[in-house]
Amino acid sequence: MVSGQPVGRPQGGLGAAGGQPANLGDILERVLDKGLVIAGDIQINLLDIELLTIKLRLVIASLETAREVGINWWESDPWLTGDNGKLQEENRQLRARVAALEAAPETIEAGEEDDERE
């Protein structure tokens, strides 16, 4: 031991509070507790003409932290909540309407042929 510190233990640096080295679990806990935002834009230009722009936004946080800042899209997403019964019913109704509309021109054409015969 040198000056009260065990030999081989790092002092300062990237360690956690108290001089202890931070492990991956500690770092992950801090990131999830506080949240982390990574943002970036990628632009592809050719002769000063913008061909493509990609905007990247990545948020890493725990569910509790995300709720605190107003991010809760997963609570209302029907694919994640399993509440897609409404979507299935709406899809069924739309298919029935499309089938009725597709059948309507046939009945109109049949009526026009009857008029021409007379």
Q: pLDDT tens digits for 51-81?
A: 999 998 888 888 888 888 888 887 777 777 7
Three-class SS of residue 1?
coil
15 against 64, higher pLDDT:
64
pLDDT for residue 11 = 47
> CA–CA separation, 34 vs 60, rounded Å?
9
Residue indicated by tokens 């890493």? 60
> CA–CA separation, 31 vs 29, rounded Å?
6
Q: What is the mean pLDDT of the segment spanning 7-29?
A: 63
